[in-house]
Amino acid sequence: MFSVIMPAYNAEKSIGRAIASVLGQSRADWELLVIDDGSTDGTAAVAESFADSRVRCLHQENGGVSAARNRGIREAQGDYICFLDADDVWRAGHLAELAELINTFPDCGLYCTGHDTRLRDGRLIHRTERCLRDAPGQRFVCSDGYGALARYGYFLITGALCVPQRALDRVGLFAPGVRSGEDDDLWLRIFAYYPVAVSRVVTMEYDRRQSGLTARRAERYENPFPGRVATLLRDPAVTEERKESLRTWRERNRLSRSRQCLLAGDRAGARDYLRRVEPARVPPGKYLTTWLALGLPTGFLRQIVRCRDRHYYREK
């Protein structure tokens, strides 16, 4: 059975559509746990209005998305844990596609379907198709998740993922108190020990209308995973292939953090991260432009990123 975890905070306007998308699944072997994370609007009332015994609404004081998801995982009765935020939706075949992946690749620690992104003007862009255009097939397995990220870019999104309970028992749950990157931290921990199964079939819509990507780029990214890398590199249970890819991931993350510091106006931090990067493990063009960007005004750099994002998402 699938256990679907839906954290919700002041999501009165969107949560009904999200829950309806779970009710509309072609498979019926699921439970939905809505975690009302201290909402002050009608979120709980909307969730409790669905007359289906498979939908449970749990209430807690506001503790953030990690605490809400962890509460749901602990209460879950299924062997496979799925996630859906209260402003996103699944298409009718989402759980069926995940079941196909699980049956085909039973030993994986993470299962991922394709997703589209809904822009603020209502249009959809086909994010997965862009990332996985060179993938080996419609459904495939990656023995090395870190290498897959380097090869395809960031093709994962939380609402399209499914994790076996056994994998969570091994690597732990979401890091509490982390404001950003808490989901990446968990997936990257799973990558250390398990292969990843991927489907290019688009079964989920990520709603970007409530987000501001460029604004978030100027915030500090708190993913705690970089602090775990040294321990994982010493772990004999992690294969040498994954360790090698993890070393490359570490260097690319340092470069990314340097660029994030630049957007936040922290040039000293940017320079510190950049000096620690092994150039041979990162894209040379990004490495060079980051050094050059140290001499440019922060406002100008943010404008460049804003223009790039508009071009990437083809927003007006």
Which of 11, 5, 70 is closest to 38 using CA atoms?
Answer: 11
| pLDDT tens figures, 265-307 | 999 999 999 999 999 999 999 999 999 999 999 999 999 888 8
Q: What is the pLDDT of residue 312?
A: 62
Q: What is the pLDDT of residue 315?
A: 46
- Indicate the pTM of the whole model: 0.92
| pLDDT tens figures, 125-148 | 887 878 898 899 999 999 999 999
Q: How many CA atoms lie within 13 A of 10 on its CB side?
A: 4
The larger pLDDT score, comparing residue 191 to residue 308, is at 191
| pLDDT tens figures, 10-55 | 999 999 999 999 999 999 999 999 999 999 999 999 999 999 999 9
Contact 4, 82 (CB under 8 A): yes
d(CA 167, CA 188): 12
Contact 61, 9 (CB under 8 A): no
Contact 171, 193 (CB under 8 A): yes
d(CA 89, CA 285): 37
| pLDDT tens figures, 170-199 | 999 999 988 778 999 999 999 999 999 999
d(CA 235, CA 261): 31
Tokens of 180: 């950003």
Q: How many CA atoms lie within 13 A of 204 on its CB side?
A: 32
Q: What is the mean pLDDT of residues 160-173?
A: 98
To the nearest 10 degrees (0 to 180), the angle between helices 284-293 and 240-263 is 30
Contact 111, 161 (CB under 8 A): yes
What amino acid is encoded at 302 in this protein? R
Q: What is the pLDDT of residue 216?
A: 41
Q: How far apart are the first and last CA of the chain?
A: 43
| pLDDT tens figures, 247-274 | 999 999 999 999 999 999 999 999 999 9
The larger pLDDT score, comparing residue 308 to residue 158, is at 158
Q: What is the pLDDT of residue 314?
A: 60
d(CA 75, CA 193): 25
Vertex 93, ends 24 and 136: CA angle to 5°? 160
